[in-house]
Structure 1
Amino acid sequence: MSDPARILIIGGGYVGMYTALRLQRLLKPAEAEITVVGPDPYMTYQPFLPEAAAGSISPRHVVVPLRRVLPRCRVVVGEAKRVSHAKRIAEVATLATVESDAPPLELAYDHLVLAPGSISRVLPIPGLADHGIGFKSVEEAIGLRNHVLEQLDIAASTRDPAVREAALTFVFVGGGYAGVEALAELEDMARYATRYYHNVRPEEMKWILVEASDRILPEVGPTLGEYTVRELRRRGIDVRLETRLESCEDRMVRLSDGSRMPSRTVVWTAGVRPHPVLAASDLPVDERSRLRCTAALRIEGEEAAWSAGDAAAVPDITSKEPGALCAPNAQHAVRQARVLAGNIAATLRGEPVKDYAHSYAGSVASLGLHKGVAHVYGRKVKGYPAWLMHRAYHLSRVPTFNRKARVLAEWILSGLFKREIVSLGSLENPRAEFELATHADRRPGKD
């Protein structure tokens, strides 16, 4: 009897979690040992981040604990630093190795699934590293919510017009899903919150969306993209197309159209780039630094290496355009993971593999409470029906029945009760009060 195959999955996102979930159902313990490596012990359902930022969903219901849903897998919390497929070894920096300054953990494998996802693409813009706020993780989403509410507190408690103007000016860079949905949800929340501030009016806030191209939300098509611009502008949001952020030093935002504005909030959602571990591997990548894959989701030229999602350049065999690739989005990633897991199981059992084929069904986007756009199977929908479609689609896709039930319950309760507008900024530095107390006890003259 042969030893179980060692399957190493690098990445705990859509592809990593769904591949492991299906593999533990398809394979018996005697057939394979599955290890999942990710920087966090949970998978983040990113389409719900805007609603978590707006307070419609609790942060803990946006994430799925890997150890709970993958009981038959070994979960290693760490960052993959290097992959040597020729030696079948991956180097992983874990919390233990980092704190003890020890060498990275070496994990040997027989089959590799390299799906680390992507990271934010940050440009060398003056001031961005110091003042910019990202929007890819649940921590960033909740931090941004706290930050926006704190700006209302600052504006309500100062008589300095310059400080007040900077606090009430919110700049979002990037007109894709993340930027548009985050801005729309947070503007909705902040507008509602101003009713509890006696000296802050909704019209005093300035919400600005900066996009370098000539349209936003390209995934929903030009018609709905233009509708979204009109809808946002109708709400008083300043949408600036074909405009770039040039600087945000000293709390002063400078745009390529020559305008300048004081702002304490710059949210950066302008694209992503491949994870650095792809460049630190001996596996083939394309001109965009993504792994070259076949339609069967096998990395080109390799028998025991697989990939899918953001990290992979997967041929779209349903497209009529030569050389077309699958879009790097959640819709493809979840479906690719099922095929990938099936192909690994088939390979271990000596069975033929299948090609991945899925025609793009469309896109949905939320523009705040009861507002949205959708382009599904060729049909264009906007307003309240699109918002319902957005919620229904993502509720059906969020993993586990537990999460579905909790999210649905929160939506029902939020419809019955008023929004929560409390800021828990201290969560980002939980030791602040204790440090203040200890420093106070060290003052000269204290016994």
Structure 2
Amino acid sequence: MDIVTRPRILVVGAGFAGVGCVRRLERRLAPDEASVTLVTPYSYQLYLPLLPQVASGVLTPQSIALSLRRSRKYRTRIIPGGAIGVDLKAKVCVIRTITDEIVNEQYDYIVLAPGSVTRTFDIPGLVDNAFGMKTLAEAAYIRDHVISQLDLADASHDPGERTSRLQFVVVGGGYAGTETAACLQRLTHSAVKRYPRLDPRLIRWHLIDIAPKLMPELGEKLGRSAQEVLRRRGIEVSLGVSIKQAGPHEVTFTDGRVVPTRTLIWTAGVVASPLIATLGAETVRGRLAVTAEMNLPGNDGVFAVGDAAAVPDQAKGEEGAICPPTAQHAMRQGKRVADNVIATLRNQPMQPYVHKDLGLVVDLGGRDAVSKPLGVELHGLPAQAVARGYHWGALRTNVAKTRVMTNWLLNAVAGDDFVRTGFQARRPAKLKDSEYTDSYLTPEQVRAHVEGAGPAQG
């Protein structure tokens, strides 16, 4: 079949769902059956659950950046950029490349897996002064920043400056925030031994969340166990509290406390990618409303998965239940949606997505962890073995598995190192610098751009 007449499948996003979909398509489609194109700024899949361990230096960044070009059946065309709008009627995706060129990409079938962005609120100074934790660049920058605070505090003769540099605030009591606070506290606890001029008691970590419980999905017992581990380490956990104002040298909590700090890490949840709003379609809490087969009602050949899609959770059997935005669901949705795209292509019936949650794992660093595999509550070393075993098994390539296992073993034997790379020393990496949420078009702008651009590419 001529390449021009082959059906064009466009996958947006290289997260767990997008990569799972592409890999399945490559394995199950004949080369002449369809062309596959992937839109992503980076030619790797980021294993996001292990990002806190990159920030703390337990793992190297390359360990959790899984190359998309290592597959033996790799034949996907990658467009290096991000989708900023989709015209469902014209079947055109508007893409901004990494060189800021705007291109139109035509498709016959589209799988929307753009993931999510950090959820922020209208808090004075937040986006200007807080760090995020969703990208490799942010994790690497935070590591450099935290170690630099110890260096600067050690060199300072000003008690006020020293106090602010040795206090750290993490907002968000979910998995990302809890693991980030736990892993980075462990880093500073180990590092301060190399700074004889610093009093370890001056280093204080704060973990705050507006919710009344820490990681409520774990249940009462395990949530309390995790909280006790953090408090035993000296992390001050404050629940029912959020940020009222964020400045460059201090943070004001909603309970009135003012904490002098140069480090505010914001992990208070995520929202669906702004790309979803460009479609003008029905949403559920900001996520695209799709059927159990993950297709968009009334739009042939349009599918959505992962954090950006409100996929019905049929395993729960509850009216209106949707799958949580977790890697566990995204990986499996990606494979199922690929099967449904192929089924549509071959005029076969689609299958609904059904998956019962396998449980939760939280790695708190060192020998500390809490896990709930298949409903069984674990803590300590057994939980740590389950947590790391799950993550290791979920890594897509043997190269990544080897790197991660080697890093874990090296860290266990040799301990932490406290090297600042300095790669981003002169470049800011706050929330406003890391997520380009103002780059997306409105539905009207998408339509005007597509109509005014003439024939699209593809």
Instruction: Report the TM range for the smaller structure's normalisation.
Output: over 0.9
Give the CA deviation at 1:111.
0.2
Q: Deviations over 1:70-125 (max 9, x none)?
A: 720000111111101111101101123x2xxx5x1010000000110000111121
Alignment partner, residue 396 of structure 2: 399
247, 252, 255: which is aligned to 2:253? 255
Aligned 8 A contact 1:318 1:358 in 2: yes
Alignment partner, residue 94 of structure 1: 97
| Residue range with higher mean Cα deviation, 112-121 or 312-321 | 312-321
Q: Distance in 2 between matches of 1:262 and 1:35?
A: 48
Equivalent position SS for 2:321: coil
Give the CA deviation at 1:405.
1.3
Alignment partner, residue 357 of structure 2: 360
Q: Deviations over 1:171-204 (max 9, x none)?
A: 0011011110011001001100111111123222
Q: Distance in 2 between matches of 1:235 and 1:356?
A: 41
Q: Deviations over 1:329-373 (max 9, x none)?
A: 100000111111111112211222111111111100011211000
Taking a change above 3 Å as real, the CA distance of residues 250 and 339 of structure 1, as seen in their structure-2 partners, is closer
7, 10, 16: which is aligned to 2:9? 7
Q: Distance in 2 between matches of 1:232 and 1:225?
A: 11
Equivalent position SS for 2:387: helix
Q: Counterparts of 1:227-376 in structure 2 under 5 Å?
A: 227-282=225-280, 284-376=281-373
57, 60, 78: which is aligned to 1:58? 60
Structure 2: where are the runs of 5+ without partners?
A: 428-458
Q: Distance in 1 between matches of 2:324 and 2:121?
A: 23
2:82 aligned with 1:79: yes
Q: Distance in 1 between matches of 2:225 and 2:42?
A: 38
Equivalent position SS for 2:8: strand
Q: Deviations over 1:380-403 (max 9, x none)?
A: 001111111110000000111111
Give the CA deviation at 1:280.
0.8
Q: Distance in 1 between matches of 2:198 and 2:80?
A: 44
Alignment partner, residue 29 of structure 1: 31
| Residue range with higher mean Cα deviation, 345-354 or 381-390 | 345-354
Aligned 8 A contact 1:296 1:353 in 2: yes
Q: Distance in 2 between matches of 1:418 and 1:181?
A: 18
Equivalent position SS for 1:68: coil
Aligned 8 A contact 1:9 1:34 in 2: yes
Equivalent position SS for 1:34: strand
Aligned 8 A contact 2:21 2:334 in 1: yes
Aligned 8 A contact 1:83 1:90 in 2: yes
Equivalent position SS for 2:69: helix
Q: Distance in 2 between matches of 1:361 and 1:61?
A: 25
Aligned 8 A contact 2:192 2:200 in 1: yes
Q: Distance in 1 between matches of 2:356 and 2:284?
A: 25
Aligned 8 A contact 1:210 1:240 in 2: yes
Q: Could you tell me which amino acid in structure 1 is paired with residue 267 of structure 2? A: T
Alignment partner, residue 406 of structure 2: 409
2:219 aligned with 1:221: yes
Q: Distance in 1 between matches of 2:106 and 2:34?
A: 13
Equivalent position SS for 2:322: coil
Taking a change above 3 Å as real, the CA distance of residues 63 and 6 of structure 1, as seen in their structure-2 partners, is same
Q: Distance in 2 between matches of 1:76 and 1:221?
A: 43
Identity, % of aligned pairs? 38
Aligned 8 A contact 2:290 2:304 in 1: yes
Q: Distance in 2 between matches of 1:41 and 1:216?
A: 35
Indicate the structure whose relative CO is greater, using CA pairs within 8 Å and at least 6 residues apart.
2
Taking a change above 3 Å as real, the CA distance of residues 156 and 56 of structure 1, as seen in their structure-2 partners, is same
Alignment partner, residue 163 of structure 2: 165
**Equivalent pairs, count:** 424
Equivalent position SS for 1:273: strand
420, 426, 435: which is aligned to 1:423? 420
Aligned 8 A contact 2:229 2:368 in 1: no
Give the CA deviation at 1:251.
1.2
Q: Could you tell me which amino acid in structure 2 is paired with residue 309 of structure 1? A: G
Q: Distance in 2 between matches of 1:214 and 1:364?
A: 20
User: How big is the alpha-carbon RMSD for the aligned residues of Structure 1 and Structure 2?
Assistant: 1.4
Give the CA deviation at 1:428.
4.4
Give the CA deviation at 1:64.
1.3
Q: Could you tell me which amino acid in structure 2 is paired with residue 396 of structure 1? A: G
Aligned 8 A contact 2:88 2:299 in 1: no
| Residue range with higher mean Cα deviation, 112-121 or 192-201 | 192-201
Equivalent position SS for 2:9: strand
Q: Distance in 1 between matches of 2:128 and 2:89?
A: 40
Q: Deviations over 1:261-286 (max 9, x none)?
A: 2100000001111111111124x232
Alignment partner, residue 439 of structure 1: none
Structure 1: where are the runs of 5+ without partners?
A: 431-447
Give the CA deviation at 1:222.
2.2
99, 107, 110: which is aligned to 1:109? 107
Q: Distance in 1 between matches of 2:38 and 2:269?
A: 26
Give the CA deviation at 1:129.
2.0
Q: Could you tell me which amino acid in structure 2 is paired with residue 244 of structure 1? A: S
Equivalent position SS for 2:223: helix
Q: Distance in 2 between matches of 1:308 and 1:12?
A: 12
Q: TM-score, normalised by structure 1?
A: 0.92
Q: Could you tell me which amino acid in structure 2 is paired with residue 207 of structure 1? A: W
Q: Distance in 2 between matches of 1:287 and 1:116?
A: 16
144, 147, 155: which is aligned to 2:145? 147
Q: Distance in 1 between matches of 2:120 and 2:21?
A: 29
Give the CA deviation at 1:128.
1.4
Alignment partner, residue 200 of structure 1: 198
Q: TM-score, normalised by structure 2?
A: 0.90
